[in-house]
Amino acid sequence: MSDRFWFFAYQGQQHGPYPEAQFRDLVAQRTITAQTLVWSEGMTGWQRAGDIPGLLAAAPGALVLPPEALPAGGLPAVQSLSAELGTWELFGRGLLVMIGDLTVIAAPWTKTGFFRWFIAHLRIPQRPDITFTGRPGDIWYAFVFLALGIYAGLSRVPYLPYVLIPVQAAIWWIIVRWLVENVSPDGHQHPLTFTGGAWAYVGWYLLSFVSFITIVGWAWVWAAWARWMCRNVDGTRRQLRFEASGWQMLWRTLLFTLACGLIIPIPWALAWFARWSVSQFALVEPTA
């Protein structure tokens, strides 16, 4: 049985995602018709169910979808995100970002390209056509500054890397705002905004550095920081939420670091950690 998830449209509204088994049940009950528009991972766009070979084999004919055919209780209150990230493609694109940072001048293109690819492979419930509309020239200076920071860290100027930490935090705040504002469900500009203040973001950034003194406390700081950022994403009907606890972040990050230290497992460890991280973000219905 496939692990795919399916969406379908009825009376102008989108329903899903439904696991393959549940979707097949709807087909068997003839609640999905030949004219029903459906979409699943890997498809380039919405298609009529009757145009997909074998999809309606269990339910020949076309019937009108009755409202009572929908699953009891409607959509789940909490819907987790997921990501279809190929192990070697993720690793290769990560290397490309590193090369872009080392060249400095290419950093805006390599980072923007990575964000565009990554967001295109996100699977957001009820948003199957998610895209990224940001361009390399939008905030090129931010990426160039971060790339130059690598060389500052390698320099022998006393305390320079520490002095630059608050500036790097402010730059990342600019990047986060830009990322959120350029996430679109249909290829057009979408009114999403990040309302977290610059000073608050810098505070979290500095706290994450200080928390390493506690050896393990950074994991709880990162989890709280992620929840704060989610609360400050506005412009969507559903609330974005981060689900992972500090303990979950701690042992997974330590395992990921250990695997990277062994060199060979890096591609698989990176893909595992990235998929898990995405799955910890969820959309919560307002009534939840």
Q: Which domains does the chain have, with CATH numbers?
A: 5-74 (3.30.1490), 79-284 (no CATH)
> Residues 152-190: pLDDT tens digits?
888 888 888 889 999 999 999 999 999 999 998 655 555
Spatial separation of the C-alpha atoms in residues 188 and 182, rounded to whole Å: 9
What is the CB neighbour count within 10 angstroms for residue 119?
Answer: 19
């998830």: which residue's tokens?
5
The pLDDT assigned to 64 comes to 37
pLDDT at 54 over 60: yes
Q: Band of the pLDDT at 89, cuts 50, 70, 90?
A: very high
The pLDDT assigned to 272 comes to 96
What per-residue string of b and e applies to 144-174 under the rule 16 or more CB within 10 Å gives b? Answer: bbbbebeeeeeeeeeeeeeebeeebbbbebe
> Residues 126-138: pLDDT tens digits?
666 788 999 999 9
Q: Band of the pLDDT at 73, cuts 50, 70, 90?
A: very low
The pLDDT assigned to 49 comes to 82
Tell me the whole-structure pTM to 2 decimals: 0.75
Spatial separation of the C-alpha atoms in residues 91 and 94, rounded to whole Å: 5
Secondary-structure breakdown of the chain: helix, strand, coil percentages, each rounded to the nearest 5? 50, 15, 35
pLDDT at 60 over 50: no
Q: What is the mean pLDDT of residues 89-101?
A: 97
SS (H, E, C) 232-243: CEECCCCEEEEC
Spatial separation of the C-alpha atoms in residues 102 and 46, rounded to whole Å: 41
Tokens of 180: 């959120």
Mean pLDDT of the chain: 84
Q: Which of 227, 248, 224 is nearest to 239 (CA)?
A: 227
The pLDDT assigned to 9 comes to 78
Q: Which of 142, 144, 82, 134 is nearest to 113 (CA)?
A: 134
